[in-house]
Structure 1
Amino acid sequence: MRYVLTLLAVALAVSGCASIFGKPNVVTVNQHGNTKVVYRADDKTRFRNLYAGKKIYPLTCEADCYAPRRELECESDNEDCHYIGKQTLPTLSAGFTVTWLGHASFHVETDEGARFLFDPVSDQFDWPVNWAFYLSEGFNRQPPNWPDDEKMSEIDAVMYSHIHYDHFNKSDIKDLGPAPQYLTPLNTAHHFPEEGLSIEEMAWYATTEIKNTRIHFVPAHHFSSRIWVPFIYDDNEKSLWGGWILENKGKTLFFAGDTGYSQHFKDIQAKYGNIDICLLPIASYFHEEYGEWYRYVHTTPEDTLMAAKELQCGVVIPWGFGKHSWKMGDISSHSALTRLLNMYEKIDTPPPLFILNEGDSVRF
């Protein structure tokens, strides 16, 4: 068994590094002005969250969290569901068209025709983690319906929140090729395949601009790692993590990335004002083995609702659940959405919600 793990570790180490046989990427680092990062006190090569330490959560679901919802049509209990509830589109005039591709992947287009991808992962994890996941869990995700090649060829920028396998996929990078600009957290570029790509690494609060859209990299409360067998190499927290804000004509769209609940949501609102469109995670908050730590770095549905109130979101689109997820740290494919809908009725002045099924598009 140790021999198998060692081989897996070596494969992971190799897969975590850029190939020496491709065309070199062009990497710039955006860490100037009022940008910010925080390093661990015991190791200045590793990043840490802005608000480390024990968390106090404003609200926790304690009863009837997963009571069935009429808005969900499911094949079984909270499994393989389709949202069928009636919804009213908020009047925002924000100029963004949002398509949820599945899990954390989004396609966003501005009215001016700028096209962006967040965390594109079109199939399974990169090898060999796809193989290891299947052996341990007994299933792979259902591959989502992906935009056609013509639409993908028109992408202007690809943004990654962090390097975990369900958010950063090398086969998709190879398919996208060198045409788009790649925007990443600090110390992430060396994980990319060498394909002659243009990569901009960004610190928290760094800003760049593409096609009249200002793009801000902002904090999240999470962690990073790419290597799963640490007796060969430990890369925990050696690359940064965060979320992204698109700002166009005074309107804002926020993709939070994976994150736990913390003060950083209030910080983002204080710096950028009320957020018009919030793409917020609601899943992967429960894990028997890791206990409370899993919630520490992932929001429960009620944590997301509290964060949305602090961000003063014009509308919230939740993600992380669904038929095309890996159900990592969740009870079933749609348990997180069921919990969200149940908790939504229990809070005062909840933020507007708009639920997408995977593959759906909406213009705000």
Structure 2
Amino acid sequence: MSQTVSPEISPSTPPRTRTWPAGFKDRLTCPLPDFREVLSVTWHGGLRPDIGDADQIPVMRAGLPPVGPRDTAATWVGHATYVLRIGGLTVLTDPVWSRKIPGVRQRLTPPGLAWSDLPPVDAVVISHNHYDHLDAPTIRRLPRHTPMFVPANLGRWFTRRGFTDVTELDWFESASIGEVSFDFVPSHHWSRRGLRDTCRSLWGGWVLTSPHQRVYFAGDTAYGDRFKQIGDRYPGIDLALMPVGAYEPRSFMHVTHVDPAEAVQACQDVGARRMATMHWGTFVLSGEPLMAPVREAREAWTAAGRASADLWDLAIGETRVLTG
């Protein structure tokens, strides 16, 4: 597998030409989800009748406020999509602006930022290839020269669509644009996009580091010891973007997604001072009440003795700023 690297990427980037293994099942820490999860997503995502509290999901479409050159701003667009302005760059995490993704009902809430209000995008980070994190219609809206940072063996998906600046990374590998480094880190998850590509590409999260702040984007993950590994390697994380939704029924979803209490524990494991919630309030993927993820995250945060100001339970479209 080859990768195309912009001249702006630092020399510390791994080699331009890579040969990846046929698959990454050896990286799994739990059995792959079985048919029960598939049936659960099908039921809750398309047939579940009890979504009457969707009007309680907070939406604040206020646009992007200005940000200083030493500051980092995080704007929650919905699900796992954030607009991060860090080190002078605008970075998208797992961008999904589509009204609907395969297999589930249309989104409950609109994107927190209109596509037309986006500034030029300097980079995109992708955690893995599931449809709620890698959305082809949204990716097609980006200029083909946009730098894409993606997991190992996922680069071809982008180059086939004409993208010319695609960097594939293995866990704990790093690339950079300007003064911002992009480090791909482990998660407890898996990958599949079609019937025959289970775990052929890698999955993980991202640590973005500027001269002034460090942000951890967890992507999609269950709970496990990899969070402490990340904290040991990347001390001083200022903000962790953590998934808190899609966790019921717990009997089998625990191998795929953290619940809110586990998200808080994971935030502590990585040593992050603040946690911003995500992966709830956008798509119906599981059985918990729609408002339970953020409510339980607040309860777990308080129970852990953390300062309430350090839990960023953002409304969709809301921005918070880390000052330099």
TM-score, normalised to structure 1, is 0.70
Aligned length: 282
In 2, the alpha carbon distance for the partners of 1:94 and 1:343 equals 31
CA distances 1:127-164 after superposition (whole Å, capped 9, x unpaired): xx2xx434xxxx54433143443634x11100100000
The 5-angstrom pairing of residues 170-319 of structure 1 reads: 170-192=136-158, 193-227=160-194, 230=195, 234-287=196-249, 292-319=251-278
- Indicate yes or no: 2:81 matched with 1:114: no
In 1, the alpha carbon distance for the partners of 2:172 and 2:70 equals 22
Give the CA deviation at 1:51: 6.8
Counterpart residue number, 1:163: 129
Give the CA deviation at 1:301: 0.3
In 2, the alpha carbon distance for the partners of 1:140 and 1:301 equals 21
Give the CA deviation at 1:353: 0.8
Equivalent position SS for 2:156: helix
Listed as ranges, the gaps of 5+ residues in structure 2 are 6-12, 32-50, 61-68
Identity of aligned residues (%): 24
2:109 corresponds to which of 132, 138, 142: 142
Equivalent position SS for 2:311: coil
Give the CA deviation at 1:76: 5.7
CA distances 1:20-67 after superposition (whole Å, capped 9, x unpaired): xxxxx9635x656xxxxxx9xxxx62214757259xxxxxxxxxxxxx
1:45 corresponds to which of 15, 22, 42: 22
In 2, the alpha carbon distance for the partners of 1:350 and 1:304 equals 16
In 1, the alpha carbon distance for the partners of 2:55 and 2:162 equals 39
Counterpart residue number, 1:341: 298
In 1, the alpha carbon distance for the partners of 2:191 and 2:248 equals 18
Change (3 A) 1:306 1:51: farther
- Please tell me whether the aligned partners of residues 58 and 316 of structure 2 are also in contact (alpha carbons under 8 angstroms): no
- Please tell me whether the aligned partners of residues 208 and 214 of structure 1 are also in contact (alpha carbons under 8 angstroms): yes
Counterpart residue number, 1:353: 311
Equivalent position SS for 2:269: helix
Change (3 A) 1:305 1:276: same
In 1, the alpha carbon distance for the partners of 2:313 and 2:297 equals 11
TM-score, normalised to structure 2, is 0.78
Equivalent position SS for 1:363: strand
Give the CA deviation at 1:246: 0.7
Give the CA deviation at 1:83: 8.6
